[in-house]
Structure 1
Amino acid sequence: MKKVLIIDNGNAARSIMAQALVNRYLGRPCDVHAESAGLAPKGSIDHETLQVLAEDGIETEHLWSKSVDDLKETDYDLVVTVCDNVKEVCPTFPGAKKEIHIGFDDPSGKPFEAYERELHQMKNLLIPRIREELCEE
């Protein structure tokens, strides 16, 4: 199984959505498992994040907000930053085979439509890129 870590600042919206999407769309066909974390985790997931995922048919009960410090000892095939600020200050993961950045706007505190827009962007940009990195041989 290939392991992916997706990082943003608060681990309440973008990285959580990305984790859920990767596990849904790349889990079985590519044998990929994603986790997510934040540099300064909020400790909870935005209600709108859970709502937009549920409306897309993705189960959310296995998701929770956590710190990158909780996952630093894990070896990952791919580490993805989804926040421009985090890209600049993200800690290194010595066991990571590859690190990439794909920036998305933070929908936190914005109307629900912002969450829908970012979920759609992730499906169109993030999923194909991770598929390219880990699934196509």
Structure 2
Amino acid sequence: MKRVLIIDHGNAARSIMAEALINHYLARVCDLHAESAGLEPKGRIDRETLQVLAEDGIETEHLWSKSLDDLKNLDYDLVVTVCDNAKEACPTLPGAKKEIHIGFEDPEGKPFEAYERELHQMKNLLIPRIREELCDT
């Protein structure tokens, strides 16, 4: 099984959405599993993040805000930073086979439509890129 790590600053919106989307759309077809972490995790997920995922029919039960220290195994086939701050400040993970950056706007503090827009952007940009990087099909 291939492993993907999504990193952003607070692990409350973008990286959580990315983790959920990757696991929803690619886990079975590409035999992979995604996790997310924040450089400075908030310790909570934005209410709007959970709402936008649920409205899209995506499971949210096992999502939680975490740091890199919370992850037991840091060996990943792909590490993806989804915010510019994480790209600049992200530590090098010696177990990562490949690292890429795909930036998304932080919807925190903005209207619900911003969460919907970022979820849509992730479906259109992130999912195809992960499929290209790690899927054989």
Report the TM-score range of the alignment, normalised by the length of the smaller protein: over 0.9
SS at match of 1:43: coil
Query: Which structure 1 residue ranges, 5 or more long, are not aligned?
Result: none
Q: Amino acid of the residue matched to residue 27 of structure 1?
A: A
2:118 and 2:72 mapped to 1: Cα distance? 27
Moved over 6 A (4+): none
Tell me the percent identity. Answer: 85
The change in CA–CA distance for 1:11 and 1:65 in structure 2 (over 3 A counts) is same
SS at match of 1:66: coil
2:136 and 2:28 mapped to 1: Cα distance? 14
Q: Amino acid of the residue matched to residue 8 of structure 1?
A: D
Query: Which structure 2 residue ranges, 5 or more long, are not aligned?
Result: none
1:5 aligns with 5
1:127 and 1:49 mapped to 2: Cα distance? 17
SS at match of 2:34: strand
1:24-43 correspondence to structure 2 within 5 Å: 24-43=24-43
SS at match of 1:132: helix
1:32 and 1:87 mapped to 2: Cα distance? 23
Q: Amino acid of the residue matched to residue 81 of structure 1?
A: T
Displacement of 1:34 in angstroms is: 0.2
Displacement of 1:29 in angstroms is: 0.3
What is the RMSD of the two structures over their aligned residues, measured on CA atoms? Answer: 1.0
1:52 aligns with 52
2:90 aligns with 90
Q: Deviations over 1:40-66 (max 9, x none)?
A: 000000000000000000111100000
1:122 aligns with 122
Displacement of 1:73 in angstroms is: 4.0
1:93 and 1:75 mapped to 2: Cα distance? 8
Displacement of 1:136 in angstroms is: 2.9
Indicate whether 1:99 and 2:96 are aligned. Answer: no
Deviates more, 1:69-78 or 1:18-27: 69-78
Displacement of 1:85 in angstroms is: 1.0
Length-normalised TM-score, structure 1: 0.97
1:72 and 1:62 mapped to 2: Cα distance? 16
1:125 and 1:111 mapped to 2: Cα distance? 22
Q: Given that residues 5 and 36 in structure 1 are in contact (C-alpha distance below 8 angstroms), is that contact kept between their aligned partners in structure 2?
A: yes
Length-normalised TM-score, structure 2: 0.97
Q: Amino acid of the residue matched to residue 101 of structure 2?
A: H
